[in-house]
Amino acid sequence: MSHTSSQYELGEILLSAEEIAEVVGRLGREICADYERKQPVLVNLLKGGVVFLADLMRQMTIPHHIDFLNVSSYGNNTSSSGVVRIVQDLSSNIEGRHVLVVEDVIDSGRTLTYIFNMLRLRSPKSLEVCALLRKPPALKSGISMKYVGKDIPSVFVVGYGLDYQENFRNLPYIAKLLHYKNL
Ligand code: IMP
Ligand code: MG
């Protein structure tokens, strides 16, 4: 079944629901092995990362907490500027905690760099990232990404939490966005 609307058209599926489940299961096992007895805080970036977090935490068999950070990027529609505004801050104190940022996709790495710098000032015991998707520019960003679900090409994708102008977050799979019409 193809999902189309008058404005947008979806292309090739990059990750099916089955592939996502496999990737999330693997990440969950890796994280559990590394964070046993550390009671990490999974810091989720709203809103794109929320579907990923919900599945990832249910793959985790170790005690952990979750918290949310809502940042809005001053970018155009399909790329970020890296200058972000905190819309909603964490509800907990992360000082001395093992923090794992759970992010949907890392493209230029600018958003993550900004967030890492901000969180580091709060003296967490450790700070790492778990990203479901990574695009090629992220490799040049200089951030070490401990957990990555899948490397994808530099294309704009939607579904499984990822949006284009707030649309498509509900798709159970991740697909290319083919056309940006009527912009
Ligand atoms: P970066 O700052 O360039 O690494 O961009 C990361 C942020 O831009 C992510 O948190 C997403 O919100 C958004 N983003 C980047 N690529 C995509 C995409 O293909 N689809 C949807 N959102 C994206
Ligand atoms: Mg995001």
Atom of ligand 1 nearest to the CA of 157: 19
Give residue 48 CA to ligand 2 midpoint distance, Å. Answer: 5
- Protein residue with least CA distance to atom 12, ligand 1: 48
**Strands (DSSP E) found in the chain:** 8-15, 41-46, 65-73, 84-88, 98-106, 126-134, 147-151, 157-158, 174-180
Ligand 1 lined by 149 (C-beta under 6 Å): no
Active-site positions read 107
pLDDT for the residue 183: 45
Residue 168 DSSP class: S
Structural domains of the chain, with CATH: 17-150 (3.40.50.2020)
Mean pLDDT of the chain: 91
Ligand 1 lined by 44 (C-beta under 6 Å): no
What would the pLDDT profile of 70-107 be if each residue is shown by its tens digit? 988 765 555 666 678 889 999 999 999 999 999 999 99
pTM as predicted = 0.91
Ligand 1 lined by 25 (C-beta under 6 Å): no
